[in-house]
Chain A
Amino acid sequence: MIDTSIDKAAKATPVGLARRIRGLSDRTIAWIFVAPTIFLLLAVNIFPLIWTIRLSFTDFRVNRPNRVVEWVGLRNYERILSDPDIWATMQATAHFLIWTIVLQVLIGFALAFLINKKFKGNDLWTTIIVFPMTLSPAVVGNFWTFLYQPQIGLFNYAVTFFTGADPASFSMIGDVHLAPWAIVIADTWMWTPFVMLICLAGLRSIPDSIYEAAECDRASKWRQFWTITVPMVLPFLMLAVLFRGIENFKMFDLVVQLTGGGPGNTTTLTSIDLKREAFEKWRTGYSSAYAVILFVTVFGLASIYVKALNKVKER
Chain B
Amino acid sequence: MAEVTLKGVSKSFGADTALDNVTMTIPDGSFVVLLGPTGAGKTTTLRLVSGLDTQDSGCISIGARDMMGLTPAQRDVAMVFQQYSLYPHLTVRQNLEFPLKSPILKTPDDEIARKVGEIAEVLQISHKLDNKATMLSGGEMQRVSIGRALVRNPSVYLMDEPLSSLDAKLRADLRIELKSIQSDRGATLLYVTHDQIEAMTMATHVGVLDKGRVVQFGTPRQIYEDPVSIYAASRLGQPRINVLPAAVFGGAPTTAQSIGLRPEQIVQGEGEESLVQRVEHLGDQTRLHLSFKSHDIVTVTDAHTNLKSGDIIRIRPKNPFYFDATGARLA
Other-chain contact of A217, B52, B89, B102 (Cβ < 8 Å): B102
By secondary structure, the A interface counts as: helix
A207 to B77, CA, bound (A): 21
Taking the nearest CB of chain B, how far is it from the CB of A204, in angstroms? 15
Interface presence of B249 (CB below 8 A): no
Kindly count the residue-residue contacts between A and B in the assembled complex, taking CB atoms under 8 Å apart.
60
Chain B, range 67-111, C-beta contacts under 8 Å to A: 71-73, 76-79, 81, 83, 85-89, 98-99, 102-105
* Stretch with Cβ within 8 A of B (4 or more), from A125-133, A227-235, A282-290, A294-302: A227-235
Taking the nearest CB of chain A, how far is it from the CB of B160, in angstroms? 11
* Stretch with Cβ within 8 A of B (4 or more), from A57-65, A134-142, A148-156, A218-226: A218-226
Other-chain contact of A216, B77, B87, B88 (Cβ < 8 Å): B77
Interface presence of B287 (CB below 8 A): no
Assess whether B99 is in contact with A218, with CB atoms less than 8 Å apart. Answer: yes
In the complex formed, the residue of A with least CB distance to B98 is A217
Given A212-B52, A213-B79, A213-B81, A218 contacting B87 (CB threshold 8 A) = no
Give the B interface residue count (CB, 8 A): 24
Please give, as numbers and ranges, the residues of chain A lying within 8 Å of B71 by CB-CB distance: 215
By secondary structure, the B interface counts as: loop
Assess whether B79 is in contact with A232, with CB atoms less than 8 Å apart. Answer: no
> What 0/1 readout, one digit per residue, does chain A (194-222) give for beta carbons within 8 Å of chain B?
00000000000001011011111111100
Q: Which residues of A contact B (CB under 8 A)?
A: 207, 209-210, 212-220, 223, 227-228, 231-232, 315
The 3 residue pairs across chains A and B that have the minimum distance between CB atoms: A217-B99, A218-B73, A213-B85
Q: A209-B85, A217-B98, A223-B103 are in contact. List 16 more A-B contacts (CB 8 A).
A: A209-B83, A212-B79, A212-B81, A213-B81, A213-B86, A214-B87, A214-B98, A216-B72, A216-B79, A217-B99, A217-B102, A217-B148, A218-B72, A218-B104, A219-B73, A223-B102
A292 to B81, CA, bound (A): 56
> What 0/1 readout, one digit per residue, does chain B (104-133) give for beta carbons within 8 Å of chain A?
110000000000000000000000000010
A216 to B86, CA, bound (A): 12
Most chain B C-beta atoms within 10 Å of own C-beta, residue among A215, A217, A227, A315: A217
Assess whether A216 is in contact with B52, with CB atoms less than 8 Å apart. Answer: yes
Assess whether A232 is in contact with B102, with CB atoms less than 8 Å apart. Answer: no
Please give, as numbers and ranges, the residues of chain A lying within 8 Å of B76 by CB-CB distance: 218
13 CB < 8 A contacts A-B: A210-B85, A210-B86, A212-B52, A214-B87, A214-B98, A215-B71, A216-B78, A217-B102, A218-B102, A218-B104, A219-B98, A232-B89, A315-B132
Assess whether A210 is in contact with B72, with CB atoms less than 8 Å apart. Answer: no
Please give, as numbers and ranges, the residues of chain B lying within 8 Å of A220 by CB-CB distance: 73, 103
Interface presence of B188 (CB below 8 A): no
In the complex formed, the residue of B with least CB distance to A217 is B99
Please give, as numbers and ranges, the residues of chain B lying within 8 Å of A212 by CB-CB distance: 52, 72, 79, 81, 85
Interface presence of B5 (CB below 8 A): no
Taking the nearest CB of chain A, how far is it from the CB of B263, in angstroms? 41
Taking the nearest CB of chain B, how far is it from the CB of A229, in angstroms? 11
Taking the nearest CB of chain A, how far is it from the CB of B192, in angstroms? 15
